[in-house]
Amino acid sequence: MLGSVGAKKCKLLAQARKFVRLIGSHGRYCDSPCQEQFAKELSESCEHWDADSTMRTLLNFTDASQPIVLRLDAVMSVSFFCRSWPDQFRDSEVHAVFSANLRPDVSELHTVTIRALTALFGNESLSPTEPNDLPASNVHDRDRIGALLVSRYLHSLRDIASSQNPSALEAVKLHAVISTEGLVSSQELYHIWMSLGISINLDVRCIATKQ
């Protein structure tokens, strides 16, 4: 049975997860670029309010010092903001989080990170139960940012797809989306598909051989 200290920590964790999810829900349904001018005016009139404060708060919860379940929630919430406001992917701190989450030593964060990228490229949902709800005004932004993200993360995604990581299939599906979008040269993708075509993962091999 949990002691008083352990129970308090569990309560704080539950509250933090609820808080992070709540912020993420706002990001998911908010057509952020349409509110940029409002945010700028609010920032000028409120001395202690920063238009980027919400994203900065979420990024704090993605830190490696946080419990993994909280980091997962935070990454998902950051993903919702980036999906409704694709230009956030240009932010150096956001880039640092996504890069760190695709490292081999944090495989538990791979799936949520890959789904976030897949949602941007292919306008797909972040999970099987999430509806397709990307604001229509941001479809052009998604296409504009896509090539940048591919250049940053393609090699990490290839390594995950080639591994025995449970997220390998998600990475291969994202490669298929990238191929459909025409964001990478066919020659470069050809070599990736050739290597994945001999994967010991049957599902990965099946998708690769169909490309």
Give me the domains of the chain, ranges plus CATH numbers. 4-209 (1.25.10)
In this predicted model, which residue has the larger pLDDT, 59 or 188? 59
Q: Does the structure show a pLDDT above 70 at 42? A: no
The confidence band for 135, taking pLDDT boundaries of 50, 70 and 90, is very low
Virtual torsion, Cα 21, 176, 169, 153, nearest 10 deg: -60
Q: Within 13 A of 70's CA, how many CA atoms are on the CB side?
A: 23
What tokens appear for 169 in the block?
């299939």
Task: Give the contacts of 81 (CB within 8 A, at least 6 positions apart).
Answer: 24, 27, 28, 32, 54, 55, 58, 88
> Over the stretch 17-40, which tens digit does the pLDDT of each residue have?
999 998 888 777 765 555 555 455
The reported pTM is: 0.75
The confidence band for 188, taking pLDDT boundaries of 50, 70 and 90, is confident
CA distances from 193 to 4, 102, 152, 196, 204 (A): 54, 20, 19, 5, 10
